Amino acid sequence: MVKQAFKFITGGLLLLWLLGQAAAGAGTRPEVQQVQSLEQATREAAERGLPLLLAFSSHHCTYCEQVEQDFLVPMLISGDYEDRVLIRKLNIDAGVMVEDLQGEIRPARRIADEYGVDMTPTLLFLGPGGEELAKRIVGLLTPDFYGGYIDRGIDTANAALDQ
């Protein structure tokens, strides 16, 4: 009886350890990279022949977090978008500085203003010169269709690059 109890306990401890290892591994899921240099991001996308999906966000925007966690991160995890689009985010909170397309360090909010972005989340599909290649996605009104809107934007942007 003691021997069976020992097996049960050690088996349970092994299971808990394995679950802990799996949970630790789950914490290393990909993240959408924050843009430090818009010039570098557009150059990287251009070198790979891809459009840049740039998600404008802010720290206190729950919809931004939802877009990132429910759509953008799963896109990164799937690997299905690696050859279709380069995904980055740009935090436009006060005080955030970023290198613009000309290599000048400026407030991210000013870059958002130049693109006419006044609401987060806003997704832009950009070409090598920072030009918009597809219809932007503003807000998160219809989560059921949001992934389809992203796919359509990516397809449109890629078609524009191919011309």
pLDDT in tens, 8-33: 454 444 444 444 444 445 557 789 99
This prediction has a pTM of: 0.82
Q: Is residue 70 part of a domain?
A: yes
Q: Is residue 14 part of a domain?
A: no
Distance separating alpha carbons of residues 44 and 24, to the nearest angstrom:
31
- What is the number of domains present in the chain? 1
Task: Give residue 54's domain range.
Answer: 38-162
The DSSP output letter for 33 is E
- pLDDT at residue 3, rounded to an integer: 53
Q: Is residue 27 part of a domain?
A: no
Q: Which two tokens stand for residue 23?
A: 């949970």
Classify 87 in phi/psi space as left (phi over 0), alpha (psi -120 to 50) or beta.
beta
112-125: average pLDDT? 97
Q: Is residue 23 part of a domain?
A: no
Q: Which two tokens stand for residue 132?
A: 């918009």
Question: How, if at all, do strands 122-126 and 52-57 pair?
Answer: antiparallel
Return the CATH number at 70: 3.40.30.10
